[in-house]
Amino acid sequence: MKTVEEIKAAIETAVPGAQVEIVRNPGPSAQHSLRIGHEFAVQVATFLQDDPELALDFLSNVTGVDWPDKEIAEKVKVTRQVTKTIDGVEQAVEETVEETRKRLEPGCLEVVYHLYSMAKKHGPVVLRMRTANRSDKVNLPSLTRVWRAAEFQEREIFDLYGIVFEGHPDLRRILMWDGFKDHPMRRDYVDPDDYEYEPTAHDEVLAKAHAHQTAAGAVAVPEGGKP
Amino acid sequence: MTSSATDFALSAARQEGWNRPPVIEPDGEGELLELAMGPHHPSTHGVFRMDVALDGERVVRLKPVFGYLHRNHEKIAENTSYLASMPYTDRLDYFCSLTNNWAYALAVEKLVGQAVPERAEYLRVILAELTRIQNHASSIGFLLQEMGASGTPLMYAFREREKILDLFETLTGSRMMCNYMRFGGCRVDASPAWLDATRKVVAGIPEFVDEFERFLRTNEILMARTQGMGILRPELAVNAGVTGPMLRASGVNYDIRKVDHYGIYDRFKFRVPLGDHWDIYDRYMVRMLEMRESIGILEQALKEIPGGPVMDPKAKIRGFRPKPGEAYGRIEAPKGELGFYLISDGSPNPYRYRVRPPSLINLTILEDMCLGHNVADVVLIFGSVDIVLGEVDR
Amino acid sequence: MLGEGILKGLAETAKNFAGSFVSAERLTTVEYPEQRIPTAENARVFPFLIYDGTDWEAGMRCVACQICEKECPPKCIYIEKSKDKKPDFVGKMQIYPAKFDIDVSVCMSCQICVEVCPFEAIKMDTEFELSTTDRFGGLLFDRKHLAKSNEYYHEIHPTEATEVDARLAEEKAKAEAKAKAATQAAAAKAGAPASGPAPGAAAPTAKAAEALPASKPAGGGE
């Protein structure tokens, strides 16, 4: 099978204008991936499926990944013009100070596709696509038209991560119930604490549940039930 | 057979929407009957619902609904260490806990580049093939149960399965939730007494498979209800990501044991049965034949198993922190391709832990297979997919 | 003939049915609870804490290191360390668990706590008939309920118990040998610059005599 660089070159030749970049995998498994842009994703996917050498006809796995916003603190050297009094005279002097600047690197949601070939019996070729941010621009093109295997898995990613796949024939929640709000697999998901009252060995869970129970006017704590 | 699937996939003759389910127009007057089959249903292999729209007896639309057993295994794994996720993998496909364990151990071993000693590889193969036999036997038993055989073939399969589960209990401590594989080998060594007991059980399995087949093979009800039903074309199977016995019954020669050469499967001689007619009867036959092939692998493995350690002495149990990176490891589980995708960021818990569930992906074309058939056939077609809800919902 | 296949199948069933009166292999039903199959030796159900000797509090091997609590996947173990110390089987003063609760309704029987325990203090029990009507607390086992003797461990898992005992005896012998060598080396160093070998010879025997009795009660369980 071709290496990642060769596949990248082949994609760029076949689908001009497609943005493809190689994402190196630092671990020992050496499964490097290709990050593709949204615009020509479906054409790239069709090319990968139709190319006689690659023949990636089998989409094995579609995964969603959440990369939350990161706050990065970095030291920056800043040169500023300061007015200082030297020998009684006010002068404009240049001063270089080291400051710690905090910037927010915006996070994104990512979809990873693992492709294999049943015809040539090779693989995997890993494709990645990133959304622009985690809040409003969460649309990605759906590859269900190319590989039917993506249908349920993209629905699951929509359900658990909130990525909206454009072009998906039936995009609705699959594992959670239809009226559910929020997306459980995101890193900033806060799970509800109105658990059913069960004494466990860990008191903080119990305390949270108890707060909801007494608020709703439910059963009191039986004596001897607490550890 | 393989050539037809791949030629079709590669040809430009396929049209837009070829892999979408056909739209069936209801004929006759009257409304469509919307029926919810499940989730409390004796034949849905667990808590599973199918929203079926019927025109008389004919299925016009079928939408599977699941998530009733969703336990958020993937999020739990993000908050627990790698080792502590191993008992949770037992509970994915709860019929085949040892193959789940192996798939996860394989993925982690790929992530860190861990080697596995030879005896451990042999033990893994032995346990995986025993799991395959008991899974296929139960699957056929359940299929016949749904056909109305009221549990008799199922109990025959379970009688054999009990012997295999007793073996698992003696070795791993538990019948179903084995928690036996570790990253770098197996948890505990198999004593010579256990290997002898296994050889005895394996010696009795061919007789069981013969009896089972004799019992069912020429049964007219089985043949009438399954032959020509639930046909799945190979090109659609490949495109829909179907794997396992269901794919091979559609004639596509793709067995991950032969393709990926994982473990030591290269040392064993076994054939891959393929189906000609792509229907339910072929899926039943492929499972029967795979049981026979597994017996061959078992006999060979039990003869050749070497001595030695079962755990790499350099492997860490506690304080396991893989370097940042990612890996996708997959095996041929009895239900299909079971894969684990792990992203590590250097901490003791995985950053992203994904299970590629064969049962869920095999359900993608349930609608295509059932359209146009009668309601009674839906149960059979669904039974031939052989799913376990623990895996579908995780 | 139509129906021949079904008749063949019925012949198999009839053979099994008639055979179940004759051979035990075909009659696979065990009428529980009047008849019971003995559990396999390796079977694991829920954990228990081992103690050596007769006093469960003094002989408990657990030193409250909390490794099992950390490694437990569903976090069903809850440990509180004690404020004082008691001697363990090699005579060293160790802290012990003031509280050791296992919520058996949460426990998955995965045996990871047994695997990671460095002190052979927690092992798997085989008792599964634990149903109780006390919904809150009936399945929360405290350390008194969990403490079972080493003799009980030998009853339920004989091979494993003998292996564990051998390992512990080896460790104890190594620790004693190290202690004796250390006292002899210290006495030799102290004795040489002083008057002669006689006071040096008296010191190690006194020290060794002090060390040995402390280890006796913990090691009496074998």
* Residue from the list C99, C106, C142 with its beta carbon closest to the beta carbon of A200: C106
Instruction: Say yes or no: A50 and A24 in one domain.
Output: yes
Chain C: touching chains (3 or more CB pairs < 8 Å): A, B
Least Cα distance to B307 among B186, B172, B183, B189 occurs for B189
* Residue from the list A27, A58, A173 with its beta carbon closest to the beta carbon of B326: A27
> Given this model, what pLDDT does residue B228 score?
87
Q: Mean pLDDT, to the nearest integer, of B11-40?
A: 77
CA distance A192 to chain C (A): 18
> Given this model, what pLDDT does residue B137 score?
93
* Residue from the list B5, B325, B360 with its beta carbon closest to the beta carbon of A25: B325
* Residue from the list C3, C9, C109 with its beta carbon closest to the beta carbon of B174: C109
In chain C, the residue whose alpha carbon lies closest to the alpha carbon of A203 is C78
In chain A, the residue whose alpha carbon lies closest to the alpha carbon of C79 is A201
CA distance A94 to chain C (A): 56
Given a cut of 80, whether residue C212 has pLDDT beyond it is: no
Domain containing residue C112: CATH number: 3.30.70.3270
Average pLDDT, chain C: 79
Q: Please report which residue ranges of chain C form alpha helices under DSSP H.
A: 4-22, 56-59, 67-71, 112-116, 143-146, 150-156, 158-191, 197-219
Instruction: Say yes or no: A61 and A141 in one domain.
Output: yes
Given a cut of 50, whether residue B325 has pLDDT beyond it is: yes
Instruction: Say yes or no: A134 and A100 in one domain.
Output: no
> Given this model, what pLDDT does residue B87 score?
92
Q: Which of C140, C144, C145 to mutate to test the interface with A (most CBs of A within 10 A)?
A: C140
Given a cut of 50, whether residue B164 has pLDDT beyond it is: yes
What is chain C's length? 222
Of A147-156, B148-157, C1-10, minimum mean pLDDT range: C1-10
Of B6-15, B92-101, B159-168, minimum mean pLDDT range: B6-15
What's the pLDDT band for B342 if we cut at 50, 70, 90? very high
Q: Within a domain: residue C177?
A: no
User: Does B34 lie at the interface with C, CB-CB under 8 angstroms?
Assistant: no
Stronger pLDDT, C88 or C205, i.e. the higher one: C88
Q: For A75-100, what is each residue's pLDDT tens digit?
A: 777 777 766 666 766 667 777 777 77
> Given this model, what pLDDT does residue C205 score?
43
Q: For B35-48, what is each residue's pLDDT tens digit?
A: 898 888 888 888 89
User: For chain A, how many structural domains are there in total?
Assistant: 3
Neighbours of C73 (CB within 10 A): 22
Query: Within 13 Å of residue C62, how many CA atoms lie on the same side as its CB?
Result: 32
Instruction: Say yes or no: A13 and A94 in one domain.
Output: no
Given a cut of 50, whether residue B313 has pLDDT beyond it is: yes
Q: Which residues of A touch C101 (CB under 8 A)?
A: 201, 227
The interface predicted TM-score (ipTM) is 0.89
pTM to 2 decimals?
A: 0.87
> Given this model, what pLDDT does residue C27 score?
79
> Concatenated DSSP letters for A77-102?
EEEEEEEEEETTEEEEEEEEEEEEEE
The answer to whether the Cβ–Cβ distance between C110 and B87 falls below 8 Å is: yes
Q: Mean pLDDT, to the nearest integer, of C68-90?
A: 84
Instruction: Say yes or no: A36 and A76 in one domain.
Output: no
User: For chain C, how many structural domains are there in total?
Assistant: 1
- Decide if A153 contacts B361 (C-beta within 8 A): yes
Q: Within a domain: residue A174?
A: no
Q: For B190-249, what is each residue's pLDDT tens digit?
A: 999 999 999 999 999 999 899 888 878 888 888 888 888 889 989 899 999 999 999 999
Given a cut of 90, whether residue C88 has pLDDT beyond it is: no
Given a cut of 70, whether residue A187 has pLDDT beyond it is: yes
The answer to whether the Cβ–Cβ distance between B339 and A176 falls below 8 Å is: no
Beta-sheet pairing, A33-36 with A122-130: parallel
Instruction: Say yes or no: A130 and A75 in one domain.
Output: no
Give the pair of three-digit tokens for residue A22. Answer: 């190689």
Instruction: Say yes or no: A131 and A157 in one domain.
Output: yes
Q: For A55-71, what is each residue's pLDDT tens digit?
A: 888 999 999 999 988 88
Amino acid occupying residue C176: E
Given a cut of 50, whether residue A226 has pLDDT beyond it is: no
Q: Within a domain: residue A129?
A: yes
User: Does C67 lie at the interface with B, CB-CB under 8 angstroms?
Assistant: yes
Instruction: Say yes or no: A25 and A62 in one domain.
Output: yes
Q: For C39-61, what is each residue's pLDDT tens digit?
A: 888 889 899 999 888 888 888 88
Q: Within a domain: residue A156?
A: yes
Give the pair of three-digit tokens for residue C181. Answer: 């060598």
User: Does B86 lie at the interface with C, CB-CB under 8 angstroms?
Assistant: yes
CA distance A126 to chain C (A): 31
Q: Within a domain: residue A150?
A: yes
| Rounded Cα–Cα distance for residues B387 and A113 (Å) | 23
Average pLDDT, chain A: 80
Give A38's contacts (C-beta < 8 A, 6+ positions apart). A129, A139, A140, A141
To the nearest whole percent, how much of chain A has pLDDT over 90? 15
> Given this model, what pLDDT does residue B18 score?
79
> Given this model, what pLDDT does residue A214 score?
63
Instruction: Say yes or no: A115 and A60 in one domain.
Output: yes
What is the edge-to-edge ordering of all strands in the sheet holding A33-36? A20-23, A33-36, A122-130, A108-117, A58-67
Stronger pLDDT, B150 or B360, i.e. the higher one: B360
What's the pLDDT band for C168 if we cut at 50, 70, 90? confident
Residue C118, preceding peptide bond in cis (omega within 30° of 0)? no
Given a cut of 70, whether residue B156 has pLDDT beyond it is: yes
| Rounded Cα–Cα distance for residues B229 and B382 (Å) | 11
Q: Which domain holds residue A87?
A: 70-104
User: Does C140 lie at the interface with A, CB-CB under 8 angstroms?
Assistant: yes
The answer to whether the Cβ–Cβ distance between C102 and A222 falls below 8 Å is: no
Of B9-13, B282-286, C112-116, minimum mean pLDDT range: B9-13
Given a cut of 80, whether residue B11 has pLDDT beyond it is: no
Q: Within a domain: residue A88?
A: yes
Given a cut of 50, whether residue A172 has pLDDT beyond it is: yes
Stronger pLDDT, A25 or B119, i.e. the higher one: B119
> Given this model, what pLDDT does residue B248 score?
93
| Rounded Cα–Cα distance for residues B328 and A27 (Å) | 12
Of A13-27, A132-146, A167-181, C194-208, minimum mean pLDDT range: C194-208
> Given this model, what pLDDT does residue C22 score?
85
Give B89's contacts (C-beta < 8 A, 6+ positions apart). B97, B100, B101, B103, B104, B355
Q: Mean pLDDT, to the nearest integer, of B334-350?
A: 92
Residue A166 bridge partners (DSSP) = A141
Q: Which domain holds residue C104?
A: 47-125+144-164
DSSP B147: I
Mapping DSSP to helix (H, G, I), strand (E, B) and coil, where does residue C130 land?
Answer: coil
Q: Within a domain: residue C219?
A: no
Q: Within a domain: residue A177?
A: no
User: Does C41 lie at the interface with B, CB-CB under 8 angstroms?
Assistant: yes
> Given this model, what pLDDT does residue A216 score?
53
Report B:312-331 residues touching C (Cβ under 8 A): 317-318
Given a cut of 60, whether residue C35 has pLDDT beyond it is: yes
The answer to whether the Cβ–Cβ distance between B328 and A31 falls below 8 Å is: yes
Instruction: Say yes or no: A115 and A63 in one domain.
Output: yes
Instruction: Say yes or no: A28 and A78 in one domain.
Output: no
Q: Within a domain: residue C179?
A: no
Q: Which residues of C touch B73 (CB under 8 A)?
A: none
> Given this model, what pLDDT does residue A85 score?
67
Q: Which residues of A touch C78 (CB under 8 A)?
A: 201-202, 227
Q: Within a domain: residue A25?
A: yes
Given a cut of 50, whether residue A6 has pLDDT beyond it is: yes
The answer to whether the Cβ–Cβ distance between C136 and A201 falls below 8 Å is: no
Q: Within a domain: residue C119?
A: yes
Instruction: Say yes or no: A17 and A46 in one domain.
Output: yes
What's the pLDDT band for A102 if we cut at 50, 70, 90? confident
Given a cut of 80, whether residue A11 has pLDDT beyond it is: yes
Q: Within a domain: residue C160?
A: yes
Domain containing residue A151: CATH number: 3.30.460.80
> Given this model, what pLDDT does residue B2 score?
42
To the nearest whole percent, how much of chain C has pLDDT over 70? 83
